[in-house]
Structure 1
Amino acid sequence: MSKEATFRDFAPEQRVFGRYTLKKILGRGGMGVVWLARDEELEREVALKFLPDLVVLDKALLSDLKRETRRSLELTHKNIVRIYDFVQSENSACISMEYIDGDTLSNLRAEKEGKVFQPDEIAAWTAQLCDALDYAHNHARIIHRDLKPANLMVNQKGDLKVSDFGIARSLGDSMSKLTMASGTSGTLVYMSPQQLDGERGSHLDDIYSLGATLYDLLTGKPPFYSGNVDRQIHERSAPSMTERRREFNLEPAFVPPVWEAAVAACLAKDPAKRPPSAAQVAERLQLSAPRSGTVTVASKKQPKRQTLWIGLAAFGLVALAGFYFVKSKSPITPAPIPQAAPSPAAAIPEKSIAVLPFENLSAEESNAYFVAGVQNEILTRLSKIGALKVIARTSTAQYASKPQDVRQIGKDLDVAHLLEGSVQRTGTQVRVHVRLINAQSNSTLWADSFDRNLTDIFSVESEVAKTIADKLRAKLTGREEQVITARPTNNPAAYDAYLRGLAYSLKTGLSAADQIDAQTYLKEAVRLDPKFALAWALLSQVDAVGYVMLLLQPTPALREEARQAADTALDLQPNLAEALHAKGWYHYGCRKDYDTAARYFGRARQLLPNNSEIPEALAYVSRRQGEWDRSEIYFNEAEQLDPRNVSLLTQHAFSYIFQDRFAEALRKLDQALEITPNDPGTLAAKALIAQAEGDLPRAAKLLAPLHPVANDPFVLEAQVYQAILERQPARAIAHLNEILVKPDPALGYLNAELRFWLGWAQELVGDHAAAQGTWRRARMELEVFLKRQPDNYVLIGDLALTCSGLGDKSGAFTLAERAMAATPTSKDAMDGSIPIDILARLAAQTGESDRAIAALEKVLSIPGAGAWILNIPLTPALLRLDPMFDPLRNDPRFQKLAGSTLPK
């Protein structure tokens, strides 16, 4: 784009921002222009909303707007217009969003005889609108602030779409730059009294605007539309809709009482008297809104930022709203009205599928890896089709290859279709049989068998994916067809090694041994075919995940291997989604560069729309960025695609734990236990929550049946900590000694961490000499690992506490400060609290009470992980129970932090 170009002088077929070809102007307004464009990179039509010079020339405002616009990328509700990206050049900027071929409710109403709708005509749209609002308010924590008929679109399928939802930011003093008279007068009639008064935005403002919008659609005018509207909104009650329709001589004049009552409640002057949620509005109207996976969030320990982001519509860019929608040449009718009590099947998306584990019909059981690989490759190809909903492999792994109750599985996974399959491999020959099933009726939609040579297995995987898309009427884009038919390698031996490595990487319950085996086979795959980009990408991801999760020793050499593998994959195939995903993991796990990681994951997400691992990764990134609400949205999105993934549910639970939202965490852990009953790690996590809440009897009951082994240190540490909190450390010593007689080498430095616990227990029972000997050995082992893992702040913290036990106060504080410098909260909002926790413990143990209190005040005031087992954060209850804080017991400041009831 030339430097002289502005949003006023673009021309059709002009290429802008390197990827968009402009087609035609969709609308103009006081705040700019909207173009229909083609995104050449992703092969789709988009609407480009160009920003006015007033915004573009204000660099601070533009930067702020860019950041907040990108917050909206996670808004994926089917009744909300999607925001794709914020793009800019030196002197121009725009927001790329979903293009809607349809018209506004405002225009559709104007075309009707009498210029009003009847309640039954808008019932389905109202249900969709309420569902979208409920999702945005409770699930995404965003409010609209300019809800009106002109911002409500209906597409060619008859579905409602809310525009300008999610272009969210708070401008503070900069708002005045964009608040023009023309930007306010057009929306004044839909505003609540509180919004007119400039009070802080609330979702109840949207509830008022919802009522005003429905009133307008059913009567032809908003509740107050002439004279001193501001004063009337504050002081008068609107006439009933029946009265207004009689006033305008509309037939029929009668509006059903249920609609009258619901709309009147929305228009209450007092926000407390309005329905508390859009879902309740739908309930009052006796509508059944479609399911959106909404979860109400109420954190006890919230980050210090706004929890509801005010829509950009609130300050003027809504002048563009509605301009990019093409007026339909054919009449648009609403979607079918949802029934009051729909059956579960009615809510399940028709274009949805789960791929069940394939049956191994080979004579050799050792071919199981090949069978799993074929199943996964078919699933991966399906997941690249944007029009499908595809459930992740981790949620289907528990089911049989040919289950009896397919209807129940469809219900469990929220899908309409299942794919069964079998693979028989004999030498170089492969037979693949597949059957596509309607889960509701258990009927076969399609079945076929493929007999191919091993070198032609890719064509089978591609053909199956394309046929399923065709049977489910999921239209493929040119790019999608290209990627699902691609051959990743022409070397059968390399592909075989890749499938073996893939099988190890896909095992549930990641272990160091599995990670090492995956790494070994993937290195063999790229040795056999150095141009095998997919294998390079998976090798990088295995390295990065092993690095961050400590399944592999997190050395600089491993980090460099992860980088080189990802870069090689991208050099070979710059648009390979798996390579972008792997590069995101490298930046996340190895570099702790979360902004860059988010960008790579975001690019991968556009190419892998049904891969649950992408929103899962974005959930991890967001919580480290301190965006806890956004992280929750990503977790919920990932769970929609992978509803029975125990690891995902557990990680979601820990996000709640890090915010002291223990009740919600327990619900997630219980979900996990429904899938894997009696899992020791999950039960230990529940016990740790009980400890954090000060309920030691409940914790003891959960821990008593567990029998940890050498390779499960976290359950053991939970039991040891329980004994210490109960002031009975002696019972933990024998078990620790038993485990440490033959430590598991795969645990690495965690063996030395267990020695720290042993030394602490010995010190508490008064065996000072034994404790010193244990800690000396722990320090020696930790120092060896620290040379190989200089940035491992958890290891640094363990060593700091060990040095403190040995009386090396100076060395301990030096290490603690090193850990804080390596992981400050400004760079890692989740784990940045761990070194502060360690510092508080060190200071308490060494008589530095002022320093200890300051650290405790800090760590208790922010969300984040703790230094102890499974990173359970410090709580007032733990301060009361943990003997490490005994030196502070008589300090009034500590007593205030810990609460009034202290242990004797």
Structure 2
Amino acid sequence: MSTKTTRFGQGNIDPRRWDRLKIILGEALEQNSSAARIALVERRCGEDTDLLEEAESLLVEAEALLTERTDSFEDCAQNAASTFWQEGPPRSGERVGAYVIVRELGRGGMGTVFLAERADGQFEKQVAIKILNRGADTAEILHRFRAERQILARLDHPNIARLLDAGTTNDGLPYFIMDYIVGAPVTRFAVAQTLSTRQRLELFLKICDAVEFAHRNLVVHRDIKPSNILANAEGEPKLLDFGIAKILAKDEDASQSTTKAQRHLTPICASPEQAKGDPITVATDIYSLGALLYEMLSNQKPHRFSTARPTREELALVVGEQVPPPPSAVASDAETARHLRGDLDAIVLLAMRKEPKMRYPTVADLAADIRRQLAREPVVARHPTLGYRAKCLVKRNGSRLVTSAAVVIVLAGVLFAFWSRSQNAGEAAAITRKSIAVLPFENLSSDPDNAYFAEAIQDEILARLSKIADLKVISRTSTQKYKSAPDNLREIAKQLGVGNVLEGSVQKSGDAVRVNVQLINALNDAHLWGDVYERKLTDIFAVESDIAKTIADTLQAKLTGAEKQLIAAQPTTDLTAYELYLKGRSLWSKRGGENLRQAIGFYEQAIARDPKYALAYAGLAEAYVLLPGYTATAPQDAYPTAKAAALKALQLDEKLAEAHTALGLLLCEGDLDMAGSISEFQRAIALNPNYATAHHWYGNGPLLALGRFEEAIAEGKRAIELDPLSPIINADLGKNLYNARRYDEAIAQLRKTLEIDPTFYYTHYNLGIALQLKGDVSAAIAEYTKAQQLSDDLVVQVLLAAAKAQSGDKDAAIQMLAEQEELSQHRHVRACCRTVLYLSLGNRDEAIRQLEQGIADHDSLTVSLIKVDPTLDPLRGDPRFQALVQKVVGAKHK
């Protein structure tokens, strides 16, 4: 076994740390719901991420144990909790076979593991002894225990923990004796030892050899995950825990299902067939190896869940339907991403294909492809184009190829041709077939005031499509620039990163509507599908649903049962309420204080007509939550109304991603509840993985506030994939980068954003911040000045005055403070503005007082930036400042 905390026991960790774990788990198991248990664990673990991971792992197994019993949940919880407060029956000093027990290492639902030493003193040897728990000896668990013992008996491999002996204790409990392994989970080992990508691959190949050996001996492990593979001090991995493994009889079909094991699966490593309850084969282990390799290479898990123990529905949705981004897309740094991009991305994603028959046929095939990649040979996971093979040839034999000037010239010409062809092929492959942009619909109505209706039809079709996890759907913000009839669909699709576009027109007259749609493959201009719907307005929801369903079918996108229900849903039966909602949504998308206030008016009218209109409540929440950011009202005046609207929306429809998104931001900024905020955002993304706003606000809200920069940046990049031309999303990625102290990347990103919209003042002032942090104050002042010419936002004026103060003009900051004091008599002035000014004047006491006021006001900039903003670095050594940071992120965070 190992030094890590395994099952329900202590391991070789610090006794004080183990005591803390027992207390936390004991308290958690006294809670009456999974969500409450998880929330308590997150609160109690604080910023200790290692402790949190250990506690969550134990909680998952505790809950799994509870589900196996027939007692009432309350009795089970009380009994399970007691195991954390007590060490269980003492066995220290007891003799088992040729060994004497020293102490307990770990305890699980099936057995307890003890450290033992040789009893006869003939030689020194430590072993791990697993003894079946008293009271757990049901028929099923006895079968599993004996099966694990039998499996280990037939597996003699240097990278599999060995079975040394077995028998029955004096009190009649079966046991088996194994190697005692001191090590760490392979993922932690790779990080701790700062292994290179090549070293990680070489380590993974040894794991593959062990799993392939098990398969050759007709054993499927079914629970391959980092904690079941330990690397010792010499870097040798050892595969452990065959507790839910299956022995295939020689005459048994390898695809035979074993349904009982479904209850014992671990979410982080479960395959789609395990998540859905489908037959389990060796392909299950291949998928789990792919998930393990994903984490070993990128330091990120391929799947995200809203809780440590997701529901069966969420597990089936996330693991069974959602395709994880390539490892390179979530890698922690640009250098790692460069190494992973291409071959390794392809290898990992092929191993993790949703369909078992589409994965590598055997573990040996997976290992062979990795060895080809290490040898710089073409890999099976990628298309064997001439250009790709040529690149591999040059990488492998470049020094031998370049032997004369003539050869160099010829080779250069050939490689250029190959490179061009491979670039085109790669570009086409990158733009997936299952991707679409819904271009603005043309308003053919005689009344120009009906333009909002055409926009709304486009928005509704897009909203329904975005709920399909198997489709990549571009947000409306990025498609709006193509207002006129597009004459170059291929170029548009390239800019948006999609393979297909939907064009359409809408004509509304009285109670009748005519919708014309055309689905086109933008890569070859092929017409895929088209139709004209002439219906009554009362049928408009059915029209939108039919269009979305037909597009999904045409693009061969897979729909789950839940997704079919979502795209067929009718949000309201009141058409007037629906039109009011559409007008509000159109204004909301334009942002700005006045537009948001008008949107609120339309949403309230829609709710008055249909008090059960969940989307209208969600719209109301999303409008109110944005108001303070445009200095249109104070947070304390807007947030309570926003929260009430979001909760009402969820009461009416718990599966509304928009409502979860609004509530996520409110919990972050209004309640300072980072754990709750993260949970809401993850739920929103699970419900609607194409909702760019959810990814955007998640990264820019709690993840940034907690200083989880890599995750925040990854969410920002995912939002850009879904809404590539959104100025605000692109600018906020730059903001996240400079808060991560990656100033050069931030400046480059913000300048790229200005190419999208050079008139967006927000980009100019964030570029100014990045430049000022880099030390170029004069360039920063130039950007602030441009922003001031484009907007009267007080934040811009403050930044300009503060920059002037830094360059020697203190009077600018003093004058701005006076103006703000006078202005605050008539309107809301954000405390963060005065914080910046006082800092520029060197008045730290007053700057801290303004931060206190900003937190009291729940100012979004203060809350989201106090832990991370480089501008506030001069205050970080002040205990008063540290207390404020703790107040924002210390009490309730994940």
Flag whether TM exceeds 0.5 (same fold): yes
**Stretch deviating more after TM superposition (690-699 or 532-541):** 690-699
1:485, CA displacement in angstroms?
0.9
User: 2:606 maps to what in 1?
Assistant: 525
Q: Distance in 2 between matches of 1:338 and 1:191?
A: 43
* Cα deviations by residue, 1:275-300 (Å, 9 ceiling, x for unpaired): xx979xxxxxxxxx99665376569x
1:100-499 equivalent positions in 2, closer than 5 A: 186=159, 201-202=192-193, 204=195, 207-211=198-202, 213=204, 294=329, 297=332, 337=383, 339=385, 340=388, 341=422, 342-400=425-483, 402-499=485-582
Paired residues in the alignment total 586
Call closer, same or farther: CA 1:698–1:453 in 2, change over 3 Å.
same
- The 1:191/1:208 distance shift into structure 2, 3 A limit, reads farther
Note if contact 1:192-1:208 (Cα within 8 Å) is conserved in structure 2: no
Residue 434 of structure 1 deviates from its aligned partner by 0.7
Moved more, 520-529 or 410-419: 410-419
The residue identity in structure 1 corresponding to 2:202 is G
1:165-196, Cα deviation, whole Å (9 max, x unpaired): xxxxxxxxx9999x969999636999999989
Distance, in Å, in 2 between the alignment partners of 1:230 and 1:710 is: 60
Amino acid in the other structure paired with 2:805: I
Gaps of 5+ in 2: 12-17, 30-36, 44-55, 68-112, 117-126, 130-151, 163-180, 214-230, 237-295, 299-323, 335-350, 366-379, 389-421, 890-894
- In 1, distance between residues paired with 2:62 and 2:636? 42
Give the deviation of 1:199 after TM superposition.
8.8
CA contact (8 A) 2:603 2:616 kept: yes
1:444 aligns to what SS in structure 2?
A: strand
What code does the residue aligned with 1:538 have?
A: G
CA contact (8 A) 1:700 1:722 kept: yes
Equivalent runs, 1:819-830 vs 2, <5 Å: 819=854, 828=863, 830=865
Distance 1:67 1:679, change over 3 A: same
Are 2:832 and 2:859, in contact at CA under 8 Å, matched by a contact in 1?
no
- 1:665-676 map, 5 Å: 665-676=746-757
> Counterpart in 2 of 1:552?
632
Percentage of pairs with the same residue: 29
Give 2:707's match in structure 1, choosing from 584, 604, 626.
626
| Counterpart-to-counterpart distance in 1, 2:785 and 2:595 | 29
Q: Which secondary structure does the structure 1 equivalent of 2:192 belong to?
A: coil
C-alpha contact (below 8 Å) 1:86/1:93 kept by paired residues: no
Contact persistence 1:438–1:445 (CA under 8 A): yes
Match of 1:638 in 2: 719
Q: Is the 8 A contact 2:515 2:533 kept in 1?
A: yes
| Conserved 8 A contact 1:619-1:632 | yes
Q: Secondary structure at the match of 1:204?
A: coil
**Are 1:92 and 2:148 an aligned pair?**
no
Measured in 1, the distance between the counterparts of 2:814 and 2:744 equals 32
Closer/same/farther in 2, CA of residues 200 and 432 from structure 1, 3 Å limit:
closer
Q: Does 1:794 align with 2:832?
A: yes
Task: Identify the range of structure 1 (324-333 vs 793-802) with the bigger mean alpha-carbon deviation.
Answer: 324-333
**Structure-1 separation of matches of 2:114 and 2:734:** 38
* Aligned counterpart, 1:616: 696
Query: Does 1:759 pair with 2:839?
Result: no
Structure 2 distance, partners of 1:389, 1:491, is: 31
Contact 1:800 1:813 in 2 (8 A): no
> Paired residue for 1:242?
none
- 1:688 deviates by 3.1
TM-score, L = length of structure 1: 0.55
Letter paired with 2:698 = L
Structure 2: distance between partners of 1:619 and 1:701: 29
- TM-aligned CA deviation for residue 457 of structure 1: 1.0
**Distance of 1:435 and 1:185 partners within structure 2:** 60
Cα deviation code 1:609-647 (max 9, x no counterpart): 221222222212211122222212222222222222211
C-alpha distance in 1 between matches for 2:831 and 2:188: 50
In 2 relative to 1, CA 68–278 (structure 1 residues): closer, same or farther, beyond 3 Å? farther
Residue number among 649, 654, 657 corresponding to 2:735 in the alignment: 654
The corresponding residue for 1:779 is: 821
Residues 306-337 of structure 1, C-alpha deviations (whole Å, 9 max, x = no match)? xxxxxxxxxxxxxxx99x99899996796564
Q: Indicate the residue corresponding to 1:505 in structure 2.
A: 588
Q: Partner residue of 1:831?
A: 866
Change (3 A) 1:660 1:836: closer
Counterpart contact for 2:576–2:606, Cα < 8 Å: yes
Asked whether the 8 Å contact 1:384–1:607 carries over to 2, the reply is yes
CA change 1:854–1:366 in 2 (3 A) is same
Aligned-partner residue type, residue 545 of structure 2: S
User: Measured at CA, do residues 191 and 717 of structure 1 come closer, stay the same or move farther in structure 2, by a change above 3 Å?
Assistant: same
| 8 A Cα contact 2:580 2:606, kept in partner | yes
Amino acid at match of 2:441: F
The 2-side partners of 1:642 and 1:368 are apart by 22
- The one-letter amino acid of 1:574's match is E
Q: Which amino acid aligns with 2:633?
A: Q
Q: Shift in Å at residue 524 of structure 1? A: 0.8
- 1:412 is displaced (CA, Å) by 2.0
| Preserved contact between residue 820 and residue 832 of structure 1 (Cα < 8 Å) | no
1:784 offset after TM fit, Å? 6.5
What is the distance in 2 between the residues matched to 1:551 and 1:93?
Answer: 49
Conservation of the 8 A alpha-carbon contact between 2:699 and 2:711: yes
CA distance in 2, matches of 1:545, 1:596: 19
Q: Which amino acid aligns with 1:627?
A: R
Alpha-carbon distance, 1:650 to partner:
0.8
Once the two structures are superposed, what CA deviation does each residue of 1:519-561 show, in whole Å capped at 9, x if it has no partner? Answer: 11111110111111111111111111224x2443125342222
Letter of the 1:211 counterpart = E
Partners of 1:357 and 1:372 within 8 A in 2: yes
Displacement after TM superposition at 1:467 (Å):
0.2
Q: Distance in 1 between matches of 2:42 and 2:848?
A: 40
Q: Residues 188 and 196 of structure 1 are in contact (CA less than 8 Å); yes or no, is this contact kept in structure 2?
A: no
Give the CA deviation at 1:666: 0.9
SS in 2 for 1:553: coil
Q: How far apart, CA to CA, are the structure 1 residues paired with 2:548 and 2:185?
A: 53
The 3-state SS of whatever aligns with 1:450 is strand
Shift of 1:466: 0.3
| Cα distance between partner residues in 1 of 2:652 and 2:188 | 58
Q: Which moved more, 1:628-637 or 1:649-658?
A: 628-637
